[in-house]
Amino acid sequence: MKATRVTVKVAAFYKFVSIDEPGALQAHLREVCAACAIKGTILIAGEGINGTVSGAPDNIDALIGTITSDARFSDLEVKYSQAAEYPFQRLKVKIKKEIVTFGVPGAQPAVATGTFVEPEAWNALIADPDVLVIDTRNDYEFQVGTFEGARNPQTRAFNEFPAYVKQELAENPKRPIAMFCTGGIRCEKASAYMLQEGFPNVYQLKGGILRYLEEIAPEESLWRGECFVFDERVALEHGVRQGHHTLCSECGFPVKGQGTSAAAVCDSCRDRAPAAD
């Protein structure tokens, strides 16, 4: 008899909202996740919650149901995808200063953030030549895939983004700016910061790249490449299916077209390798 292949459900979620007692929420979610054999990471801070978790479909649904039953998270932004195996090896539920590291205390999306744009309206926005399209992710993520015409800030970490804004965008603050990231959390934080810095026309892709890849057909898409994700799937393609990247065995950066080979090496590391005697 042929064995049934178990499909793992993956949920990525976040919400900027005031949390007075992060420790109490941490203990509760850790207990629920353990009971449901959930694996992944959940970050909790005074500013909100951010997580990507995996498990059996019914268990993931139960976890999300538990979270959204709390009035603070009733409109939680959740993106779903699938995996053949668990993309995480263990469970981590942590308390942090920020749910996404940015380093600017005044940037508070729960107070004010940019205008959300639904995936079906995104193409028209970024096709407008007057709109500056910015990828708020890191440089190595940009290299795996991005939207047509998007600008790469060439950051190595998200906390470098404020410096990019001050150095590259300050001369024309009124220009419409459309930003995007994997699931929406980074561009929401960036939008709050830019409003604070005097940029009045800031837009952000609602649900991030993941929702766009889920809802927009490939033949209508302005996405080019794959979307890097921070788990063992490495990258996702249209339909939020696992893509064709693995990680360089030397530096850990994504490498295209190598299947799942643990010995894959990126071009940069290959060029730096000493010549054989």
- Residue 120 bridge partners (DSSP): none
Catalytic annotation on 181?
A: yes
* Cβ contact 208:182 at 8 Å: yes
DSSP 233: T
- Residue in the block written with tokens 């005031």: 18
Q: Please give the angle made by the CA atoms of 232, 32 and 97, to the nearest 5 degrees.
A: 70
Taking the C-alpha atoms of residue 245 and residue 255, their distance in angstroms, rounded to an integer, is: 5
Task: Choose, from 33, 36, 181, 227, the residue flagged as catalytic.
Answer: 181
Taking the C-alpha atoms of residue 180 and residue 176, their distance in angstroms, rounded to an integer, is: 14
Q: Report the greatest alpha carbon distance in the chain.
A: 67
Phi/psi at 173 (5° precision): -70, -20
SS3 for 88? Answer: coil
Taking the C-alpha atoms of residue 140 and residue 189, their distance in angstroms, rounded to an integer, is: 20
Query: So which residues are the catalytic ones?
Result: 181
